[in-house]
Amino acid sequence: VEVFEVHYDSLDGVRIAGWYCLPRHRTAPLPAVVFYPGYISEPTFPKSHAAKGYATFGAAPRGKLRSNSQVNPGYPGLLAHDIIDRNTYAYKGFYVDAWRVIDFLLEQPEIDNSRIGIRGSSQGGALTLLTAAMRPEVAVAAAGAPYLAGVMDAIALTNTYPYQEINDYLRQHPDSRDAIAATWSYYDCHNFVDRIRCPIIVNIGLQDNVCPPETGYEVFKRIGSTDKQLYPYDGHAHDAGSFHHEAVIDRFFAQHLQPQG
């Protein structure tokens, strides 16, 4: 496997980095899989999937990897950063960074542009849903324990972080609830996923106290694709059954992307 640190420009001139992995012995064109990161985690280093015949990209939106010298609201901090203004809210650039990965892949001569898959869990699950909604080039998607879905409900359903960042903000600024709700009407996954058309699978943990399963069920119901399947895992919390579900994702991507590993 060959590993490259790559860079691209995103919103407001922020320079974004990521890990790009390719099978060493390859015949182009290759299918590609993007891995979106969780809230506090750095980008994954997706070498093992490159060994299976995929070009893989470990995405690092602003505040992660090399860009944290340019944008760094902190963890905790990102969820509530500039939250009362939709035009400057921290997730505006974050979302664009995630979408711009697709542009990078489309420019690579070794990539089959008709075979691009995306995946992630928690915040990565949210970015997967959002990118599948906004980038029609995505051929297949797998979202786990989706975060940023039904946010104004989620802050009442759970008392854990990161959602508690919003409740912390509301305790300090009790008159800001309407402004926060207005901002989130532009960013909530619920208001994007009806645009998804590609095959997609979603897994949730029924005992998840970080991203409540109620919001997972609701966002799945709103997905516009007619080729969708939900995997609810009883007895699992925010891991959303990932130990068992990884094999499901592997089969799903192999079926749709057909790597030559």
For the stretch 48-97, pLDDT in tens is 999 999 999 999 888 766 666 677 777 788 899 999 999 999 999 999 99
Out of 10, 49, 122, 239, the active site residue is: 122
CA distance 245 to 148: 21
Q: Is residue 23 part of a domain?
A: no
Active site residue 236: yes
pLDDT of residue 16 exceeding 70, the answer is: yes
Q: Is residue 167 part of a domain?
A: yes
pLDDT of residue 66: 66
Q: Is residue 16 part of a domain?
A: no
Which runs of consecutive H residues, i.e. helices, occur in the chain?
Answer: 47-50, 90-106, 123-134, 151-157, 164-172, 177-184, 213-222, 242-257
Q: Which residue has the tokens 């324990």?
A: 145
Integer angstrom CA distances of residue 90 from 48, 73, 95, 167, 184? 32, 8, 9, 17, 12
List Cβ neighbours of 197 (8 Å cut-off, separation of 6 or more). 136, 224, 225
Q: Is residue 153 part of a domain?
A: yes
Active site residue 48: no
Out of 49, 236, 238, 245, the active site residue is: 236
Out of 67, 121, 188, 208, the active site residue is: 208
Nearest to 52 by CA among 24, 80, 71, 15: 24
How many Cβ atoms are within 10 Å of 29's Cβ, its own excluded?
A: 15
Considering its fold, how many domains does the chain have in total? 1
Residue pair 188/151 in contact by the 8 Å Cβ criterion? yes
Q: Is residue 132 part of a domain?
A: yes
Active site residue 153: no
Q: Is residue 246 part of a domain?
A: yes
Q: Is residue 54 part of a domain?
A: no
Read off the pTM: 0.95
Q: For residue 85, what is the domain's CATH number?
A: 3.40.50.1820
CA distance 8 to 182: 31
Query: What mean pLDDT is predicted for residues 212-221?
Result: 98
Query: What mean pLDDT is predicted for residues 201-215?
Result: 98
Range of the domain at 114: 75-257
CA distance 90 to 250: 33
Q: Is residue 47 part of a domain?
A: no
Report pLDDT digits (tens) over 242-260.
999 999 999 999 999 999 8
